[in-house]
Amino acid sequence: MPYPRLIINLNEIYLNALKLQKMCEENNIELVGVTKLTLGDPKIALVLKKAGIKKLGDSRLKNIKKLVENNIPGPFQLLRIPMISELEEAVIYADEILVSEEKTALIIDKIAQKYDKNVQLILMIDVGDLREGIWYEEAPQKILKLHQKLKFANIRGIGTNLGCFGGVLPTVKNMNLMIEIKDYLEEKLDKQLIVSGGNTAALNLLEEKKLPKGIYQYRIGEALLLGTDATGHRDIPYLSQNTLLLEAEIIEVDYKSSVPIGEIGRDAMGRIPHFEDKGWRKRVILAIGEQDILPNGLKSLDPTLEVLHASSDHTIVDITDSTTNYDVGDVIKFRISYGCALRAFTSPFVEKIYI
């Protein structure tokens, strides 16, 4: 059996999807199931659809195309504000597109007209996280101006992204700001708009029933696929974290010094490594590396193991404190973080196994 491998538990993902879909439904929230972590994996996407999630979202058009080609029913939302060079395909494959640039929106409008497609636009607003979006102070006027110029594409609502670049948390305060802008625009445009308010990091507002009144959309990936919230730094208590399991094989077992011998330069990734002198330690090398995982995102199921470091193809784990007698050829199992899962799904060297 080939290693390393990622064991994907479709049933646990299904149960997470079922819970989140129900929770959103009860709160009048449209849930978009985000598949980008999985590179638009059709099997996982199908599970999300089966759990009742109506719309799927992905940041990469290539992933959406893959879902379409694998007969996964839409509608699809394109999450990353698109490149001009991909707009033709974006209009063909996506039904709803997040945008922040007038220039992009106007080209979408033209292409939508050409294909006679009723494309929905969500205008992104930056309320402080400093990733995409029109700066909130300028957003109302810019959106009104854009609305006048659009002939075909429809502004369905406004959106924001939080917790991704600046790590800014979704709060009642920044949600209220979104609602204020939405109310202003609704009055000026005389139509109802939605607030595409959040990702996994915004779930706590929903849990604590703190969301200001309005019609929302939540775009969720991490919580569905991992049951965690990286921005809030927590396991989500009502979701399963047993969705993904990474297995890697041991290729060397030996006792070595915990401090390298010789002059220290930088490591393979250009970092200056740091070592604590613990004397001689029993360590294993796993046949997996930075190309496939993030070493600090590996959480061993054996809590006595300590992941020390990784280079592109090797990961070193200290096993001195374990009661298990690990040998060459044995396999070590890990739960993984969002960042680590992103690498594992992306790496062609990690076998994907569905159970």
Q: Does 199 bind ligand PLP (CB under 6 A)?
A: yes
- Distance between CA atoms of residues 321 and 21, nearest Å: 42
Q: How far apart are CA 166 and CA 67, in angstroms?
A: 31
Number of amino acids touching ligand PLP (CB under 6 A):
13
Q: Residue with the closest Cβ to ligand PLP?
A: 221
Q: Residue written as tokens 């929230």?
A: 29
Residue 243 Cβ, how far from ligand PLP at the closest point, in Å? 13
Which residue's CB is nearer to ligand PLP, number 197 or number 289? Answer: 197
204 binds ligand PLP (CB under 6 A): no
Residue among 326 and 338 whose Cβ is closer to ligand PLP:
338
Please tell me whether residue 125 binds ligand PLP under the rule CB under 6 A: no
| Residue 61 vs 250, nearer CB to ligand PLP | 61
Q: Which is nearer to ligand PLP, 219 or 309 (CB)?
A: 219
Cβ 14 vs Cβ 50: under 8 Å: yes
228 binds ligand PLP (CB under 6 A): no
- Does 156 interact with ligand PLP (rule: CB under 6 A)? no
Interacting residue with ligand PLP among 48, 220, 284, 298 (CB under 6 A) = 220
Q: Which residue has the tokens 């959040």?
A: 198
Fill in the per-residue mask, 85 to 124: x = in contact with ligand PLP (CB under 6 A), - = not in contact.
----------------------------------------
Is residue 36 flagged as an active site residue?
yes
Distance CA 201, CA 228 (A): 9
**Stretch of 134-142, 214-222, 252-260, 327-335 lying at the interface with ligand PLP (CB under 6 A):** 214-222
Q: Residues 28-57: x/- map of binding to ligand PLP (CB under 6 A)?
A: ------x-x---------------------
**Strand 331-336 to strand 298-300: parallel, antiparallel, or no bridges (unpaired)?**
antiparallel
CB atoms near residue 296 (< 10 Å): 12
CA dist 209 and 173 (Å) reads 14
Our finding on whether 286 is near ligand PLP (CB under 6 A) is no
Calpha distance 185→144 (Å, rounded): 7
28: left (phi over 0), alpha (psi -120 to 50) or beta: left
Please tell me the distance from the alpha carbon of residue 65 to that of residue 49, in angstroms, as a whole number. Answer: 17
Tracing tokens 């330069």 back to the chain, one arrives at 265
Exactly one of 21, 63, 100, 200 binds ligand PLP (CB under 6 A); which one? 200
Task: Measure the CA–CA gap between 349 and 249, rounded to whole angstroms.
Answer: 13
Preceding peptide of 75 cis, ω within 30°? yes
* Residues binding ligand PLP (CB under 6 A): 34, 36, 59, 79-80, 161, 199-200, 219-223
Q: Cite the active site residues.
A: 36
